[in-house]
Copies of this chain bind each other. A is one copy, B any other.
């Protein structure tokens, strides 16, 4: 089997996770990373044996002066790759588009870039097939990915008439939370709709969705409240079934000690996942309420990890390495250990990784 060669440009919050996730897939490999900040992140990458490339000559000089071994420039990395995943900071990616095209490297942007940059936005569960063989796509942001997963689940079951959501966004990412100062307030977004609703339509154009968003002072992730009008009165069980059929949507119960963002994070920690990553949209099963045609739903979104499985699928789609979205999703999720239910005996779950204590028990 020819493995898809993947380059990762930017080894930050998303980039390092993409590298790890790609490394877990049988059909792809990381051929190198490109970055310019000579800090702890790249020393970890060096320790992991990742070939390091610099975006340009100046950056190469800086990296080498800091003692890093540099394999070459971005152009060299692109020449060696089938697909490059752009994980540079928001709005920086666009500046690289020309370089990616010139090198003939298929490329994936993250949700911080505009839809128009590639003309295609991607959520595997909703539109994998439309990306097959394309030169480029854009994996939408964390909030938009979660929005599409939830609404697509209901839409696929012909239950969705319209969705109105309130998105509570984490104030900042944990790794840079020392930069923001303590925030004791809530900051509503200045207009309605917030960008996530329209952004979800770049993936599913026919959605009737409006979002309102605000920033709240915590760093663990996002919380969404959805008010959904269904096409007909449905039972709570029908709605739960529709959500259970959707990949990467997992159920949790507040009554099971999982009644807040931090509790879910603690469970994920205990599962032995890397970096506390939560790839699933977590729906609180016991908060979910149906009232005639109306559905009230609350879910959690990890802003750092949710797009990682999507990015792996996007690589496969662009490379034309797997014609079936469902098959790609199944392969990605099995490799990562994505779960469908957080209320189960975990000993039998694919997701549970024994920690170093357990390893020592043998």
Q: Please list the residues of chain A having a beta carbon within 8 angstroms of any beta carbon in chain B.
A: 164, 166, 168, 183-193, 210, 212, 214, 216-220, 223, 225, 227, 254-255, 259-263, 284, 286-289, 291, 294, 296, 298
Closest to A185 in B: B262
Task: Kindly state the separation between the CA atoms of A187 and B193 in the bound complex, as whole angstroms.
Answer: 24
Q: Contact check: which of B217, B220, B260 meets A188 at CB < 8 Å?
A: B260
A168 to chain B, nearest CB (A): 6
In Å, the complex CA distance between A219 and B164 comes to 27
- Cα–Cα distance between A184 and B171 once the two chains are bound (Å): 10
| A216 partner residues in chain B, CB cutoff 8 A | 168, 186, 216-218
Q: In chain B, what residue has the closest Cβ to A254?
A: B190
- Contact check, A188 vs B254: say whether CB atoms are below 8 A apart: yes
Q: How far is the CA of A296 from the CA of B193 in the complex (A)?
A: 9
Choose from B190, B263, B294 the contact partner of A255 (Cβ within 8 Å).
Answer: B190
CB distance from A214 to the nearest CB of B (A): 7
A164 touches B227 (CB 8 A): yes
Query: Known: A164-B227, A210-B291, A227-B227. Contact between A296 and B192, CB under 8 A?
Result: yes
Task: Give the residues in chain B near A188, CB-CB below 8 Å.
Answer: 223, 225, 254, 259-260, 284, 287, 298
A-B contact pairs, 11 of them (CB 8 A): A166-B166, A186-B218, A187-B259, A188-B260, A192-B287, A192-B288, A192-B298, A210-B294, A212-B225, A212-B298, A216-B216
The interface residues of chain B lying within 8 Å CB-to-CB of A190 are 254-255, 259, 286-287
Contacts of A214 in B (CB 8 A): 168, 223, 225, 298
17 additional contacts (CB under 8 A) given A185-B260, A188-B254, A190-B254: A164-B227, A164-B294, A164-B296, A166-B227, A183-B218, A184-B220, A184-B262, A185-B261, A186-B218, A188-B287, A191-B286, A191-B287, A192-B289, A210-B294, A210-B296, A216-B217, A227-B227
B168 and A186 contact, CB distance less than 8 A = yes
CA distance A139 to B268 in the complex (A): 43
Q: Which residue of B lies closest to A253 (CB)?
A: B190
When distances are taken between beta carbons in the complex, the residues of chain B under 8 Å from A284 are: 188
* With contact pairs A218-B217, A225-B212 given, residues A186 and B261 touching in the complex (Cβ less than 8 Å): yes
Q: Cα distance A255–B164 when bound, in Å?
A: 24
Decide: B254 and A184 in contact? CB cutoff 8 A: no
Residue of B nearest to A261 (CB): B185
Question: How far in angstroms is the closest Cβ of chain B from A305?
Answer: 17
Chain B residue numbers with a CB within 8 Å of A186 are 168, 216, 218, 220, 223, 260-261
A285 to chain B, nearest CB (A): 11
The 9 closest A-B pairs by CB, nearest first: A192-B289, A185-B262, A166-B166, A187-B260, A192-B296, A185-B261, A166-B225, A164-B227, A216-B216
Measured between beta carbons, the chain B residues less than 8 angstroms from A259 are 187-188, 190
A159 to chain B, nearest CB (A): 17
| Cβ contact of A296, chosen from B185, B212, B225, cutoff 8 A | B212
Contact (A219, B287) CB under 8 Å given A190-B254, A214-B168: no
Cβ–Cβ contact B217 & A217, under 8 A:
yes
